Amino acid sequence: MVFLPKTRGHGGRGVALVVATLLLGVLAAMPARAVPSFSDQTGEACSACHVGAFGPQLTAHGRAFKLTGYSDGQASRQFPLVSGMAELSLTHTAQGQEGGAASGFGPNNNGAVDQVSVFVAGRLYDHLGVFSQTTWDGVGHHIAWDNTDLRYGREATLAGLESILGLSVNNSPTVSDPYNTTPAWGFPYAAAKLAPHPAAATLIEGGLAQRVVGMTAYGLFADLLYVEAGGYRALGGGPLNTLGVAIADGQVVDGTVPYARLALQHEDLQQSAALGVFGLSAHVFPNNDRSAGTDRYTDVGVDASYQWHPNRNHTLGANATAILETHSLPASVALGLADSASGHLNSYRLNTYYTFQQTYGLTAGVFRSTGSGDAALYGSDPLTGSANGKPNSSGYVLQADWTPFGKTDSWAAPWVNLRLALQYTGYTQFNGASRNYDGTGRNASDNNTLWLLTWLAF
């Protein structure tokens, strides 16, 4: 049985959900209102740049488009640089969440408009382009800026080597990265907001996303060596508030956060592969409390990817990422937020995927995080905490999806895009244990999640 969100206050949110769904359906079917603006610019179908004809997983062509500043293409633009996206979903967990999956939602089997996004995306000038997302969170019910990347990139010949050189101003470490192994663009590309998620994540796995702004310089040399380096600084409370980000809810960096990325890649007409490292080092005021100094996080990631596409009917690939974090937490200890002044947290992800006719996709992934225990840091709250103070979690994600549009011969291409996905997440360990992880009798497998997603881009 599916529960629509509970009505609250003077508005019937269930009715609003239905109306929103209908509106989105109408919008998706209207070719003249909002379009994927990159396709509008290039004249190419989504499948030219995206595996499975839907973002964000990039093909080699898509990586080149990104690195050259989102500015390629000369189709006569029919619309401004605006596109839209919506995620509508049904979420089922093996056991319900007492008190509701989120404010205004039932314990289980929730339907939701997870998010609606507006993009400003496309060429601003020769070699200069932007990808900027603003998102209404349908679970948290607020609007905030999302992934944003303004970049200048162009081809050049350096010492006889064909190269691409560029600059990116962006708001999240790894959002500028062209590979789908780093946190901002890694699998799963969408996940259930109304299901429990492991509490521990390394800082680079979204801990600074949209809370910083930075600039990186990058170069791809001889189609072989990718180098990127730059730094990020905190946005003040005023700008963050304006952008819809609650400053007190997360980490605030002190000074400049250096970020670096290095990758070796090989691309030919039927396959591509990359092997790289990336990382950052950050001094952080925990929860923006500046009374006790800063903590320090150092994250180093190692990633590898492979993609084989013998023709347009078949794409097979794999992505692997390991992130090793060491942290020293004197400020958190002084504030009573952590017990141990030093520790580590490691995160591992591996997935493999197959796409048939750029339409039917299967992805299987495993994940694991391990680290040093800390009862104060990881807490013992029911459902979200860890009774033994350990961050360890592990499990797998299986996804099947159908993307009927987005190809060169698709109906109304490239104006209408849809992905229907069924995703199952199974946990073998959650917040430190397999059984009774939170001390109230909840098992890791109680958080196993079945998620049906309708993903629209228009």
Partner 1 sequence: MTHFPICARRRSILAAMALLAAGLPAAGRAADATRGADLFDNYCGECHTTRAGGGSRSAPNLFGLMGRRTGTVEGFAYSDANRAAGWVWSPETLDTYLAAPKTAMPGTVMKFQGVKDPAERADIIAFLATLHG
- Contacts with partner 1 by CB under 8 A lie at 42-45, 47-48, 61, 64-65, 68, 72-75, 155, 157, 162, 223, 267-269, 310-312, 408
Its sign, for the CA torsion 247, 249, 250, 254, is positive
Work out how close the CB of 280 gets to partner 1 at its nearest, in angstroms, rounded to a whole number. Answer: 30
Print burial letters for 357-379: b (CB count within 10 Å at least 16), e (below 16): ebbebebbbebbbbbbbbbbbbb
d(CA 93, CA 366): 18
Of 48 and 456, nearer to partner 1 (C-beta) is: 48
Nearer to partner 1, 255 or 310 (CB): 310
User: Cβ of 400: how many Cβ atoms within 10 Å?
Assistant: 14
Would you list the DSSP string of 28-54?
Answer: HH-TTT---HHHHHH---HHHHBGGGS
Rounded Cα–Cα distance for residues 195 and 139 (Å):
11
Q: Considering the complex, state which of residue 31 and residue 107 has its C-beta at the smaller distance from partner 1.
A: 31
Nearer to partner 1, 133 or 163 (CB): 163
Please, what is the minimum distance in Å from the beta carbon of residue 226 to partner 1? 15
Q: How far is CA 334 from the centre of its chain?
A: 32
Minimum CB separation of residue 185 from partner 1 in Å reads: 20
Beta-carbon count within 10 A of 355 CB:
25
Residue 52 beta carbon to partner 1: minimum distance, rounded to whole angstroms: 14
Which residue intervals of 112-197 are DSSP H helices? none
Given the complex with partner 1, which of 42 and 147 has the nearer CB atom? 42
The helix (run of H) or strand (run of E) holding residue 166 is strand 161-170
Q: How far is the CB of 169 from partner 1 (least distance, A)?
A: 23
CB of 457 to partner 1, least distance (A): 18
Cβ-based nearer residue to partner 1, 61 or 233: 61
